[in-house]
Amino acid sequence: MNLQDIANYAQIFGVITVIGGAIFGLIQVTEFRKQRSDMIAAEVTRTFYSVDLADAITLVRALPDHCPADELRRRGPQYERAAVIVNTSFETMGLLVFRQVADYSMVEQLAGGIVVVLWRKLDRWIETVRAEQSQPSWAEWFQWLAEVFESRKNEARPAYVAHKDWKAR
């Protein structure tokens, strides 16, 4: 074996090493994305285990549809606090879905119906807050998420209907 043969083998070994490294890197990136997606799904799910959000949803659900701000405020400060908690929770989810950080389908299945209902309860209060604060972007992602879910609600069947024949494997 002469010096030229050794150089050729070294070059082949180098190319194989680079290709192997690139494949390993792609596998690592894929795994990282899956872990990130799983982590975000867990965080979105954990949002619903918040006692504050559960209490807020309970109060807001009791409001009439399209509740005016003055009526919501007459019920006491806990109602406006509940409205803010609901708003900020779903505002965050809306932005995460839009940016494709959180999976649309998962968020829709997890919260689609309640987002639409809560938006319908709070839409007039939000309009008032936007006007009072001169802040048209207040609750923009909550509104966006509710409108997207609302537009698709006739397409999606409830899980208990769509998956009634499901069997564990």
User: 57-116, pLDDT tens digit by residue?
Assistant: 999 999 999 999 999 999 999 999 999 999 999 998 898 899 888 888 888 888 889 999
55 shares a domain with 31: no
User: Would residue 16 count as lying in a domain?
Assistant: yes
**Domain assignment of residue 1, given as a range:** 1-37
pLDDT of 129:
97
Q: How far apart are CA 117 and CA 65, in angstroms?
A: 8
pLDDT of 44:
67
22 shares a domain with 94: no
Q: How many domains does the chain have?
A: 2
Name the pTM for this structure. 0.74
- Are 93 and 102 in contact by the 8 Å Cβ rule? The answer is yes
149 shares a domain with 119: yes
User: Would residue 127 count as lying in a domain?
Assistant: yes
141 shares a domain with 105: yes
User: Would residue 164 count as lying in a domain?
Assistant: no
User: Would residue 52 count as lying in a domain?
Assistant: yes
Q: How far apart are CA 121 and CA 106, in angstroms?
A: 23
- DSSP per residue, 71-115: HHHHT-HHHHHHHHHHHHHHHHHHHHHHTTSS-HHHHHHHHHHHH
pLDDT of 78:
97
30 shares a domain with 57: no
Residue 141: CB atoms within 10 Å:
19
User: Would residue 163 count as lying in a domain?
Assistant: no
Helix (H/G/I), strand (E/B), else coil: 168 = coil
Confidence of residue 163 (pLDDT cuts 50, 70, 90): confident
